[in-house]
Amino acid sequence: MKIFSRLMDRVLVWSKHPRAPWFLGGLSFAESSFFPIPPDVMLMPMVMAQPDKAWRFATITTIASVAGGLAGFFIGVWFIEAIIPMLHDFGYWDAYTRAQLWFTEWGFWAVLAAGFSPIPYKVFTIAAGAMSMALAPFALASLVGRASRFFLVAALLYWGGERFEAVMRRYVDTIGWIAVVLLIVAYFVLRH
């Protein structure tokens, strides 16, 4: 079944919508403070559909993500007691306690690593606020980490361009079905 290749075509059409940059900014902001879906899922097809705007899209993603990270920071400062049950309910508690340990050991560098890596960044933004990390180093680490990640993604797609899209078209259905199977397996493993 070619479900994922049809979905890819649809996403590429949506990524050219005039309001797509606004949606990209909204998703980037939300992901950094509370939403589970990373902005890469919008950034990548937008760069593939409009490579001439790759740097603009990476800039939007970075600025909105850092702003969302600041919102997450202040959630940690003011509302940590209220959201602790949600961290448990949504399966982020282990990541949150790990983030606290990382802050104790590495501080600035923990935020920088979380900003660049696929580690749930929102957990680090909230933990940074809850642990009273200084705001200026937090903002700087967020900016450097997020910009590095999103500009790297944009650059790889910009320079890979049509070759990357051709490879994705060839394997998108296989990758999609593997991801579905892995999600199902992960659900059952984490549930038990």
Q: What is the mean pLDDT of each run of 10 residues along the chain (192 residues)?
A: 61 70 85 75 81 91 93 90 81 78 77 70 82 86 87 85 64 63 67 62
Tell me the pTM: 0.73
The pLDDT value given to residue 76 = 87
The pLDDT value given to residue 171 = 59
Distance (Å, rounded) from C-alpha 119 to C-alpha 35?
13
The pLDDT value given to residue 9 = 60
Strand, coil or helix: 136: helix
The pLDDT value given to residue 175 = 64
Q: How many CB atoms lie within 10 A of CB 171?
A: 13
